[in-house]
Structure 1
């Protein structure tokens, strides 16, 4: 297709899709699932169209009669289509025949998990490497394989990263003029509250409370703040507070729409630690959504960084920079068949922002620092981790906002966010 920018997931699809009878590409609206799937689809069934839903409802066998690969788009609009595909796989549909794209099924829809028949693949907003800002010189996959060479320089600075945070990783939004971008992101959030929630089976009786909960969640970006505290923040001053079950339903609905992308706590396969915290680190699907929920544009974030804003604003730019790094590391790690977590001791003495774990249990420790230089104090938790787990630590990396990728005298790699890729 014209103007299609190849994504990291395309390499995985090239390798896997021809051999799988069915796979699903899932993620939030606007990340490019349909555009990517259409690069390899011969036939398209768009279930956002009432006529196509009617045809498939009347005769599901049409899905197997079409020449493949067949893209079944917006499958959640007709949840039973998932089971039609599963039964077709069981009946012996050819390899590479089905690509399913969309969100999760609405609450109450009864469908088979698809385990063993439909292979899921997560698609996120554009990582930093996918935005074409620089040619990465450091590969996460190579680091996981034990590569020690680190090098490269970038011209990107703090203002460029602020632009990337606010521009968003949604392909159709990021290239727009700033004011149009803000309007599109606001409309995206309004659509979530007023349309997507009801379509998922979660009627919203008090939209203002949901919007406040989203803003409180955004303010907790890159932290492990308890959900009870997020609720308290969202409903401060309200006499008639929503029940805890209501806000847990918010979380469930947002998860089903792939609008929450938390970083799970790392659970080591070996007994290195006695007590680790078990709370996820909060992230929305895209840091631009968090910035819009908090009413912060680029200039406001830069003012906060310079110390002229309130305390809450003054901490948010670093949290959003970490969010942008986490979004990218999740994408790169999946390409390398690795998974991402975070480490925090229960007494909060030590934390490592991101832990990337290989299948054999060995890990890469990553700290994220919004600064143009790396000081010894910035890597103290990485040194602690190295002392604690020894050879199970493949490498230690600090991602920062400076100019040069290099290896420090303590053997910790310092890499600008723009220079690390898959």
Structure 2
């Protein structure tokens, strides 16, 4: 099967040319190994016992020739992290190590964080522009990198419409799942979620007397997708039918675990030193790694998003899909993505993209085929507050034509962003 290039490839090429060690992080099944194989010379697959024995016999990789060494699923042999860190301290050459893993270093196991030695690259499920990359559909033709430079040409059309976005939400961005028949795909997603509860939780060193409580909390979190709902409200929503409510400590454990295995992917509040809004909320905007997981946690299908049964989630999950695409594009150029919301809710910017030199692009996500003046009022306010930093304003929508409004706001179909 031909490898489909990902946004992460661009980021890896940039990083491996400059630094000795890069760790590609992300949830299971996101495509880390397949992407890392494109950039490595020698591979050790540490989910295999024989491979673990090889590395255990040569933990410093002294017998490995030149090139990029890939310890895949390094967390299966945690000392590898420190071995790589020490090699970096001994001046390993650029591009020497590429680690992939489905968990962050376990607290309390004496594993060094790697700060300043091992750079981390977050890999997420496929963005919209990665899923529709085949064929001439106008996909990925408006680049986020151009928007960050200011004055990008905004034009063109796509034939991707609402039905396609709904399908993209339901089919998942996990490469091994997205191409499956609908019934098989549903079983894969349900099994993925069940594995988190039954196996990944205990494997990560956590214990829970009631695994079903974790599922209820995940369901509450999924229902809050694209919102800043307080964790106390999520706790209330986790209460079971018999009135039993888990403790705050229990749900804090859930958050810690799900963050460690990259299933929670919240959008942080914009916290720039240039942000004068003391009244801005610091609450993250809730997102799961893949909107398809949120859909399945609610027991819904893609078809439900177009009916009364599930239409309340169509807008939030469209924003989840847009957030996934913006983050994938931003990661390739080391830009950050956050959100801005005043405490009283007067103003909200769905996504704030910040470049390395502080340039800002404000993004509004709109589930509609048309954009009106009221849809851009928060963006115009953002530019008024930061006239020297905001280089562009964008509405990502479900229409088919890219254009620039007279007020300067770029209106871009989600599928055309790349």
TM range (shorter): over 0.9
Compare 265-274 and 326-335 and name the one that shifted more: 265-274
Look up the match of 1:81.
80
The separation in 1 between residues aligned to 2:44 and 2:275, in whole angstroms, is 49
Look up the match of 2:357.
360
Look up the match of 2:110.
110
Give the C-alpha shift of residue 34 in structure 1: 0.5
The separation in 1 between residues aligned to 2:363 and 2:342, in whole angstroms, is 16
Give the C-alpha shift of residue 58 in structure 1: 4.0
Give the C-alpha shift of residue 236 in structure 1: 4.5
Task: Please say if residues 11 and 333 of structure 2, whose CA atoms lie closer than 8 Å, have aligned partners that are also in contact.
Answer: no
The separation in 2 between residues aligned to 1:419 and 1:77, in whole angstroms, is 39
Deviations 1:361-394 (A, max 9, x none): 3311100000111111111211222222223221
Deviations 1:111-141 (A, max 9, x none): 1111222111111111111113543221111
Matches for 1:322-333 after TM superposition, within 5 Å: 322-333=319-330
Look up the match of 1:95.
94
**Structure 2 gaps, min length 5:** none
Look up the match of 2:23.
24
Look up the match of 2:6.
7
Aligned in 2, Cα 1:418/1:184: closer, same or farther, shift over 3 Å? same
Compare 375-384 and 236-245 and name the one that shifted more: 236-245
The separation in 1 between residues aligned to 2:279 and 2:163, in whole angstroms, is 39
Match of 1:264, SS state, is coil
Give the C-alpha shift of residue 97 in structure 1: 1.8
Aligned in 2, Cα 1:92/1:225: closer, same or farther, shift over 3 Å? same
The separation in 2 between residues aligned to 1:378 and 1:359, in whole angstroms, is 28
Compare 378-387 and 210-219 and name the one that shifted more: 378-387
Give the C-alpha shift of residue 3 in structure 1: 1.8
Look up the match of 1:393.
390
Task: Please say if residues 30 and 171 of structure 1, whose CA atoms lie closer than 8 Å, have aligned partners that are also in contact.
Answer: yes
Task: Please say if residues 106 and 199 of structure 1, whose CA atoms lie closer than 8 Å, have aligned partners that are also in contact.
Answer: no
Look up the match of 1:70.
69
Match of 2:62, SS state, is helix
The separation in 1 between residues aligned to 2:84 and 2:355, in whole angstroms, is 32
The separation in 1 between residues aligned to 2:386 and 2:94, in whole angstroms, is 43
Compare 266-275 and 184-193 and name the one that shifted more: 266-275
Look up the match of 1:149.
153
Give the C-alpha shift of residue 12 in structure 1: 2.1
Aligned in 2, Cα 1:19/1:407: closer, same or farther, shift over 3 Å? closer
Deviations 1:216-242 (A, max 9, x none): 000000000111111110114444322
Match of 1:24, SS state, is strand
Aligned in 2, Cα 1:18/1:364: closer, same or farther, shift over 3 Å? closer
Task: Please say if residues 193 and 204 of structure 1, whose CA atoms lie closer than 8 Å, have aligned partners that are also in contact.
Answer: no
Look up the match of 2:131.
131
The separation in 2 between residues aligned to 1:168 and 1:260, in whole angstroms, is 15
Matches for 1:293-312 after TM superposition, within 5 Å: 293-303=297-307, 308-309=308-309
The separation in 2 between residues aligned to 1:90 and 1:148, in whole angstroms, is 42
Look up the match of 1:57.
56
Task: Please say if residues 218 and 294 of structure 1, whose CA atoms lie closer than 8 Å, have aligned partners that are also in contact.
Answer: yes
The separation in 2 between residues aligned to 1:191 and 1:105, in whole angstroms, is 20
Look up the match of 1:371.
368
The separation in 1 between residues aligned to 2:365 and 2:253, in whole angstroms, is 31
State the TM-score, normalizing by the size of structure 1: 0.94
Give the C-alpha shift of residue 98 in structure 1: 1.2
Give the C-alpha shift of residue 46 in structure 1: 1.4
Match of 1:391, SS state, is coil
Q: Which of residues 231, 245, 269 is equivalent to 2:249?
A: 245
Look up the match of 1:219.
223
Give the C-alpha shift of residue 258 in structure 1: 0.7
The separation in 1 between residues aligned to 2:77 and 2:270, in whole angstroms, is 36
The separation in 1 between residues aligned to 2:214 and 2:56, in whole angstroms, is 34
Q: Which of residues 165, 175, 178 is equivalent to 2:179?
A: 175
The separation in 1 between residues aligned to 2:181 and 2:128, in whole angstroms, is 19
Compare 349-358 and 267-276 and name the one that shifted more: 267-276
Q: Is 2:317 aligned against 1:320? A: yes
The separation in 2 between residues aligned to 1:240 and 1:136, in whole angstroms, is 48
Task: Please say if residues 269 and 361 of structure 1, whose CA atoms lie closer than 8 Å, have aligned partners that are also in contact.
Answer: no
The separation in 2 between residues aligned to 1:64 and 1:283, in whole angstroms, is 42
Give the C-alpha shift of residue 201 in structure 1: 0.8
The separation in 2 between residues aligned to 1:248 and 1:274, in whole angstroms, is 26
Task: Please say if residues 137 and 151 of structure 1, whose CA atoms lie closer than 8 Å, have aligned partners that are also in contact.
Answer: no
State the TM-score, normalizing by the size of structure 2: 0.95
Give the C-alpha shift of residue 333 in structure 1: 1.2
The separation in 2 between residues aligned to 1:359 and 1:38, in whole angstroms, is 28
